[in-house]
Amino acid sequence: MQFLIANAWAAAPAQGQGNPGGQWSFLILIAVIGVLFYFMLIRPQQKRQKQHRQMVDQLGVGDEVVTNGGMLGKVTQLGDQYIGIEVAKGVEIRVQKNAIGTVLPKGTIKHG
C-alpha cells in the first residue's frame, strides 16, 4: 500500500529569512486591542459608576425613586448606607443607597 501514499519531505527553513518586524507588529496589535478595550468597555463603565454615585449622593428627603428591584417610593429617611422609602401610606422599607436605580421627577408617584 505504500505506493499509493507519496512521501512528504519537509523543507528545512531558510537561514536569515523570516519576519524581522513580526515581533513589533504583534506588540503593536496587542497595544491597539488594549486601547480599544479601555475606550469601549472600561471607560464607559467608570462613567456610569460616577454618575450613579453622584445621583445617590444628591438624594434628599421627599425625592421619588425607583430601586433596582422595581419598587417605587418616596425617600423619608437618609442614613450613611441605608435610606427609608415609603412605598405606600404607612408602609416604609429600608434599602441600601446603592439599590437606588433612578430618581423620578417630583409628582410622578400618585398615592390614592
Residue 67 belongs to a domain: yes
pLDDT of residue 1: 59
Residue 7 belongs to a domain: no
Q: What is the DSSP letter of 5?
A: S
Residue 111 belongs to a domain: no
Residue 109 CB partners (closer than 8 Å, separation 6+): 64, 72, 73, 74
Number of domains composing the chain: 1
pLDDT of residue 110: 80
pLDDT of residue 25: 87
pLDDT of residue 3: 65
Look up the pTM and report it: 0.65
Please report, in angstroms and rounded to a whole number, the separation of the first and last CA atoms in the chain. Answer: 91
Residue 6 belongs to a domain: no
Cell of 39: 475606550
Domain of 82 in residue numbering reads as 22-104
| Beta strands at 100-104 and 64-67: parallel, antiparallel or unpaired | antiparallel
Q: How far is CA 111 from CA 12, 20, 52, 69, 73, in A?
A: 84, 74, 27, 20, 10
**Each residue's pLDDT tens digit in the chain (112 positions)?**
566 666 767 666 666 555 566 788 889 999 999 999 999 999 999 999 999 999 999 999 999 999 999 999 999 999 999 999 999 999 999 999 999 999 999 888 886 5
pLDDT of residue 60: 92
pLDDT of residue 23: 81
Of 85, 87, 75, 80, nearest in space to 57 by CA: 80
> What is the rounded distance in angstroms from the CA atom of residue 77 to the CA atom of residue 13?
76
Residue 65 belongs to a domain: yes
Residue 98 CB partners (closer than 8 Å, separation 6+): 52, 56
* CATH number of the domain residue 62 falls in: 2.30.30.60
